Structure 1
Amino acid sequence: MKKSIQFSYEAHYSTSHALSGEESELWLVFHGYGQLAEFFIRKFIPFDNANRLVIAPEATNYHYLSGFQGRVGANWMTKHERELAIANNHRYLDGLMETVLSGFRQPPKIHVLGFSQGAATATRWASQWSEDLSSLVLWAGGFAHDMQVMGAREKFLNTKITVVYGNQDEFLNQESLEKQKEWFEKLHKKPEVITFEGGHELNASVLKRIFDK
């Protein structure tokens, strides 16, 4: 007989600097499969300033990247107990944002960037979150396939959406790009699409282009 309980759980996140409460914008950036927040956020440190706080939540499922020892990475979910992982992610991210936003003197503009597996997690969570997003960046990934269309359409109505991917990304193909195109049609959204010379990676020059807008 399989049963479950809920209990308090400690999770990690990294920030680009200590919250002052005076920042005018907040970027929530989601790492990909097998990454850790403390290393992922380093890509965003060049764009940190007094008015911009970047926060990288870390997924709570951990695994060895190779074999049974060595480097460890985190993932947002696997197929095992998938629905439970989704519910736990939502509670974790809701709680994180409630805690962080309570430190702001004025509500900041909120931006979300999801890389690879983090893109699906970001869209699934953001589509049901209580607050609105100024922008959403889907980098080398896309909308969660089980995202609720009507709720997401309303949630992202006034959200600027940008799609970014490398032209040599081994994890993307024409079929996956077509599926994302179908999602944009369902959501009645036309994204900005940015491509670059490279693979499944964050590109510094494209990041600068996004943050400088």
Structure 2
Amino acid sequence: MNSTEKEINYTNHNSYSTLNTLSQRTKTIWFACHGMGYLSRYFLRYFKGLDAEKNYIIAPQAPSKYYIQPKMYVGANWLTKDNTATGMKNIINYFDAIFKEEKLPPKDKSFIIFGYSQGVSVAMRYMVKHNIQCDQLVIHSGGIPKELVSKDFEYLSENTKVKLIYGTEDEYLNEERIAQETDTALRLFGSRLTILPFTGKHVVNVDYINDLV
């Protein structure tokens, strides 16, 4: 069998979800990337404890949807190890469209880039691609892309804070992996990094979200 894999360009459409209303009273805008198995509209529930007048949350939607057994819920994922570079190019174009539509990053409000689980990798790669400024970068229970180096983040303002959050009982982590991710984060961000472990599994820590602002 003589098979050939070819590549084409085409126009795609995707949704994204928002929580609360952007207004003059808004103090903080969040760009929150969900983990594998989520849909953006359901991921927003973790941000409902925030002051609705002061916080506007934007949750992009991972493009690849699938059924989750056994109840056949619909979930989505951002990337796989197959054709990762091309997948990330598509995500960058999608994020570009959201940033243009929502006029991001904001000039007169605080801006938080939040990645949970698989959402960490796409959020961080996008930041580096366009040197996106933010007031806080939140790395929650996800792996930092191995290709990133400290020089990639030299553009960040000296006031930018970075939070590394993980559950000490996370079923996807062991002591070696925790040490590895912590060392990587320290190498990338140095003194601007705050490490926030919590007793728990691979779950979104709502208490920490509410404390970020």
Change (3 A) 1:188 1:52: closer
Identity of aligned residues (%): 27
The residue that corresponds to 2:208 in the other structure is 206
**Do the aligned partners of 2:99 and 2:105 also contact (CA within 8 Å) in 1?**
no
The residue that corresponds to 1:194 in the other structure is 196
CA-to-aligned-CA distance 1:19-55 (integer Å, 9 cap, x gap): 3365332111111111111111111022142232111
**Number of equivalenced pairs:** 209
**Do the aligned partners of 1:29 and 1:114 also contact (CA within 8 Å) in 2?**
yes
Of the candidates 5, 13, 17, which is equivalent to residue 8 of structure 2?
5
* 1:156 CA displacement: 6.6
Aligned to 1:165, what secondary structure does the other structure show? strand
Q: Which runs of 5+ in 2 are unaligned?
A: none
**Do the aligned partners of 2:131 and 2:155 also contact (CA within 8 Å) in 1?**
no
Aligned to 1:5, what secondary structure does the other structure show? coil
**Do the aligned partners of 1:124 and 1:143 also contact (CA within 8 Å) in 2?**
no
The residue that corresponds to 2:83 in the other structure is 81
TM-score by length of 1: 0.87
Alpha-carbon distance between aligned partners in 2 of 1:109 and 1:126, rounded to the nearest angstrom: 16
TM-score by length of 2: 0.87
Task: State how 1:130-141 maps to structure 2 within 5 Å.
Answer: 130-141=131-142
The residue that corresponds to 1:32 in the other structure is 35
CA-to-aligned-CA distance 1:55-100 (integer Å, 9 cap, x gap): 1111001111127x82111101111221111111111112211210
Q: Which runs of 5+ in 1 are unaligned?
A: none
2:169 aligned with 1:183: no
Change (3 A) 1:148 1:187: closer
* 1:136 CA displacement: 0.6
The AA in structure 2 aligned to 1:53 is Y
* 1:126 CA displacement: 1.2
Alpha-carbon distance between aligned partners in 2 of 1:11 and 1:28, rounded to the nearest angstrom: 16
* 1:173 CA displacement: 1.6
